[in-house]
Amino acid sequence: MTAKKAALIKKTIDAYSLALQNEQDPTERSRIQEKIADNYYELALIKIEDRRYAMRKAAEAYLESLSIRTLDDFPIDFTRMQNNLGAAYQTLAEVEDKTENCKKAIGAYLDALKISTLDDFPMDYAMTQNNLGNAYATLAEVEDKAENCKKAIGVYLDALKISTLDDFPMQYATTQNNLGNAYRTLAEVEDKAENCKKAIGAYLDALKIRTLDDFPMQYATTQNNLGTAYKTLAEVEDKAENCKKAIGAYLDALKISTLDDFPMDYAMTQNNLGTAYQTLAEVEDKAENCKKAIGAYQDALKIRTLDDFPMQYATTQNNLGNAYTTLAEVEDKAENCKKAIGAYQDALKISTLDDFPMDYAMTQNNLGTAYQTLAEVEDKAENCKKAIGAYQDALKISTLDDFPMDYAMTQNNLGTAYQTLAEVEDRATNGQRAIKACEEALKISTIDQFPMDYAETQSILGSAYKTLAEAENRIDNCRRARQAYGQAIEILTKLNLPGIKKSVEDKLSELDLICS
């Protein structure tokens, strides 16, 4: 059916193109150009492989038409075509030059609003404001996230002056869903809890209309979005409760987004469900929730295969590796670490240094952690060295200047790996390397900005000095170890973390035995 429709549209374009050649009247030529543009736009939507070419042709044809039917002479036609031109640029932004095409879309929508005002054409005003919000929201993905999200939020709220629940319920639901997305994106960079709650409120408003029975596909979309908002809120507030709400929303989405009917949406939602279970595992029923996360990721991978969806495959394999690494903390450490390593290595088939450097660095850091955990129970020296190699690969991208927080995290992990290796091999050399890595981490993990990270790194630094004290300069290194442990204990006391504080105090007691 799609192929037949595409062929028919192409014939229609050919017919209009022939008519254009034979038409001399400028206004009629402009009308034909608009028809050509409309058909190219429709072709782009149904034939994905032609989308880039067809949307470019649509934009060109709208611009040609607009050169004749101007704001002053044809205000209604001008407004309609500017809105359509904006839609063409916005769709084109999905496949090329996102920043440039979003800005062109924004310009077109703003031109449309010169005529489609709140007072004169309220319905057109609301529609165009919603489209303008979408363009700002897409631009926020690549430029000035906070500023463009706020602009998107502003125009969505303007659209809702007309698209009310009572008068235009479907448009109301669409705009509320979009508003939720803008708040959720803003939450990534500013006021996470507050903006997540606003996103949740918008999604719940959308679901007043987007019910399971009346609009099942839109229901599933909004439930998935709602789940993600709850999951993000769980990062800063009521982790268990909000994770459970996220899980509930994802499970509701899966009532519609089934494997057979909507395989891509099914895979996306299963991946999201896995991350919610994995986050819940941090605070409740670690083994059980990790296993649920693993099951969800494996379901996602039924669709997200290496050949068909390589980028999504890599994302889910990385997540799967994280779930196995966490499960290894409480069950079958060696076996689950090896499964984690396998998943990370699968992710790295796609997340290469050249093609996806940031994903490469993240996955290499995770791979290092899996090797480091495996070293606790098997082949300590060999697995520590593999962990060190992975962390060093991550640091090719996670540099001090470009990604300071990632740099600090990876240097902290590298220090742990060297310190563990020093217990069994080249105590002095590896102890010194551990100290160096910790000192690098502390350039970013300062006591004022990141007190918890500071305490963790000071604890590792204390252990490195303790190990080094067994090889050289006992008195001096024992003193430095005591100082580092003391710094960690002081911060952990202030942060009211008695369990972690106790583990550092135990290390300090071991140090006293060595250094006495």
CATH number for 107? 1.25.40
- Give the position of tokens 């952690």: 369
What lies within 8 Å, CB to CB, of 492 at 6+ separation is 455, 500, 501, 504
pLDDT of residue 448: 92
The domain total for the chain is: 1
Chain centroid offset of residue 371 CA: 25
- Can you list the positions of beta strands (E) in 11-98? none
On whether the CB atoms of residues 373 and 329 are closer than 8 A, the answer is yes
Contact 95, 139 (CB under 8 A): no
The pLDDT assigned to 15 comes to: 87
Q: How far apart are CA 100 and CA 198, in angstroms?
A: 29
Inter-residue contact 112 to 97 (CB < 8 Å): no
**Which pLDDT score is estimated for 259?**
96
Residue 374 · residue 351 · CB < 8 Å: no
Instruction: Give the residue numbers spanning the domain of 1.
Output: 1-115
Q: Is residue 45 part of a domain?
A: yes
The reply to whether 23 falls in a domain is yes
The answer to whether position 163 is within a domain reads no
Annotate 378-421 with DSSP letters as a single string. Answer: S-HHHHHHHHHHHHHHHTTTS-TTT-HHHHHHHHHHHHHHHHHH
What's the average model confidence in pLDDT over 358-366? Answer: 97
Mean pLDDT over 331-350 rounds to: 97
State how far Cα 238 lies from the chain centre: 21
Q: How far is CA 16 from CA 38, 84, 221, in A?
A: 11, 18, 38
Residue pLDDT, tens place only, 34-67: 898 888 888 888 867 778 888 898 889 889 889 9
73-124: pLDDT as tens digits: 888 988 998 999 999 999 999 889 999 999 999 999 999 999 999 898 899 8
At residue 41, the pLDDT reads: 87
pLDDT band at 406 (very low <50, low <70, confident <90, very high): very high
Structural domain includes residue 70: yes
C-alpha dihedral, 207 to 192 to 370 to 446, nearest 10°: 180
Alpha-helical (H) ranges within 234-332 are: 239-253, 263-280, 286-300, 310-328
* Residue 229 reports pLDDT greater than 60: yes
**Angle formed at CA 316 by CA 312 and CA 321, multiple of 5 degrees:** 150
What pLDDT score does 456 carry? 94
For the chain, give the percent of residues with pLDDT over 90: 72
Give the CA distances from residue 220 to residues 176, 187, 212, 228, in Å, rounded to whole numbers and listed in that order.
15, 22, 8, 12
pLDDT at 320: 98
Q: Please check whether residue 226 lies inside any domain of the structure.
A: no
Q: Are 303 and 259 in contact (CB under 8 A)?
A: yes
Residue 348 lies in a domain: no
For residue 267, pLDDT over 60 is answered with yes
Q: What is the pLDDT of residue 165?
A: 95
Give domain status of residue 4, yes or no: yes
The whole-number pLDDT of residue 61 equals 85
Helix, strand or coil for residue 302? coil
How many angstroms separate the CA atoms of 88 and 16, rounded?
A: 19
Task: Judge whether 279 and 291 are in contact, CB under 8 Å.
Answer: no
Amino acid letter, residue 187: A
> Per-residue pLDDT tens for 414-440?
999 999 999 999 999 999 999 999 999
Q: Which of the pair, 320 or 27, is modelled with greater confidence?
A: 320
Domain-embedded: residue 485: no
Quick one: pLDDT at residue 431? Answer: 93
User: What's the whole-number average pLDDT of the chain?
Assistant: 93
- Whose CA is closest to 408, among 453, 361, 353? 453
Amino acid letter, residue 162: I
Helical pair 357-374 and 310-328, crossing angle rounded to 10 deg:
20
DSSP state of 342: H
Q: How many CB atoms lie within 10 A of CB 444?
A: 21
Any idea of the CA torsion for 126, 131, 135, 136, to the nearest 10 degrees? 20
Q: Are 416 and 407 in contact (CB under 8 A)?
A: no
Residue 1 confidence class, pLDDT cut points 50, 70, 90: low
The per-residue pLDDT for range 130-177, each reduced to its tens digit, is 999 999 999 999 999 999 999 999 999 999 999 999 999 999 999 999
Task: Please give the C-alpha separations between residue 5 and each of 14, 39, 88, 93, in angstroms, as whole numbers.
Answer: 14, 11, 20, 24
